[in-house]
Structure 1
């Protein structure tokens, strides 16, 4: 790519944008204007995955597009679920064809879900709840799922003090967001060919490397892939390596 794009980085369930404070300055130092945003379903009940998708598209990306900015979207974990429908027809090629300014020039999923309902697919509510129970404590009346509190699950390779500090900032996540389904996958748009990437995390516990590989192979499209020898949160454990990997992928995008 000839010039530096903007980067929009979205962490997943329970996590606020400040968990990216170690990696954002590194991307900025590489010449990118970088924005970190929290998805709407963090800390707010009764927010569906469709609500998150609309928020990503209309309130995060569209204002940048209206400034004629070219953007790379980077998503982690749950954020990939609402991002999938949100990015449909948002590539610069698609927007230019419709006479619209700006657009996405690339997408990067970082150990992130490619399918519905945090990776569980379109299944019955009870099966979803059973699957979600491994991630935390469910309170259906509040419409919240509270995150697991053991450090090793999310932060097994993160400095202990940093892991504890990050864990203390986590918020309950809308249960509705993890129980609703999506049926549009914008990353399948042909316009993303050559600028669609997936960063695998080999020691991830919440999203195993086997599940990451399965989702990539079942997605119906080709992803440029990279591997990091990290757990679920490389933005904390290996921010330098993650930022360099993101930079390398962006520089290799073909638009």
Structure 2
């Protein structure tokens, strides 16, 4: 007797979706400065429809309780905590870091390379690092170093806190106005310390599978700067380009989801 022939069609579809989610990698998103994990809700929903699970990190330096102490190290610990939850379940994880998020994420993945863990007989790990118009800076450097030591004129610094000026132009130039307005209302202050603390690890020098997604019309990180950082990655690393400003997860979440799936399935 074939058990499957007695299942309702809706159950068969549900089992198919469950099987796909179990076999596909899980995406873990790290937001950039001033942003909460909810900015990724639309692209995560699209990934879910495609059969991919995902999670997102809340950075400690965003809306900090103690900006004097909460910088890159605290953010890296937050990323590591979310990553370990997934890896402890045996998940293969694609890290997606946006903007400043690339700095703490690099530090957080040390020792988590899927290839290395598999060789040791361990389950789960980081299958790929995807930098989404994000800072890929060498170990022992910080965000300010990646900016050439020049403070952007759209930063507003007050004591130990930094906030962005003109976020519509800088972050959301191509985002639908109603969505952009909501995004602006959700911007939080950021610890100034996070801009100077140093990263401790550069995964592209340690055998991690790498990818970079360029935002062609980015007003926060110019395209040539993005390209320069991606040039550090090993030959054959995945790259893709979107005709977007700094926040493609808000302006074109479906296109971004498609590119992320392409990255995750790249040989």
TM-score band, normalised by the shorter chain?
Answer: 0.7 to 0.9
**Could you tell me how far 1:220 is from its partner in structure 2?**
5.1
The residue aligned with 2:234 is: 221
Taking structure 2 as the reference length, the TM-score comes to 0.84
The residue aligned with 1:89 is: 111
Q: How does 1:51-200 map to 2 (within 5 A)?
A: 51-57=74-80, 59-115=81-137, 116-118=141-143, 120-121=145-146, 127=149, 131-140=150-159, 143-190=160-207, 192=208, 195-200=209-214
The residue aligned with 1:48 is: 71
Query: Separation in 1 of the partners of 2:146 and 2:245?
Result: 23
Which segments of 5 or more consecutive residues in structure 2 lack a partner in the other structure? 1-19
**Could you tell me how far 1:99 is from its partner in structure 2?**
4.6
Larger Rg: 2
The residue aligned with 1:39 is: 59
Residue pair 1:117, 1:178 contacting (<8 A) in 2 also:
yes
Residue pair 1:113, 1:119 contacting (<8 A) in 2 also:
no
Query: Separation in 1 of the partners of 2:43 and 2:147?
Result: 34
Query: Separation in 2 of the partners of 1:71 and 1:22?
Result: 19
- The structure whose RCO (Cα within 8 Å, separation 6+) is larger is 1
Taking structure 1 as the reference length, the TM-score comes to 0.87
Count of aligned pairs = 240
SS in 1 for 2:241: strand
SS in 1 for 2:142: helix
**Could you tell me how far 1:71 is from its partner in structure 2?**
0.9
Does residue 1:247 correspond to 2:267, yes or no?
no
Which segments of 5 or more consecutive residues in structure 1 lack a partner in the other structure? none
The residue aligned with 1:15 is: 35
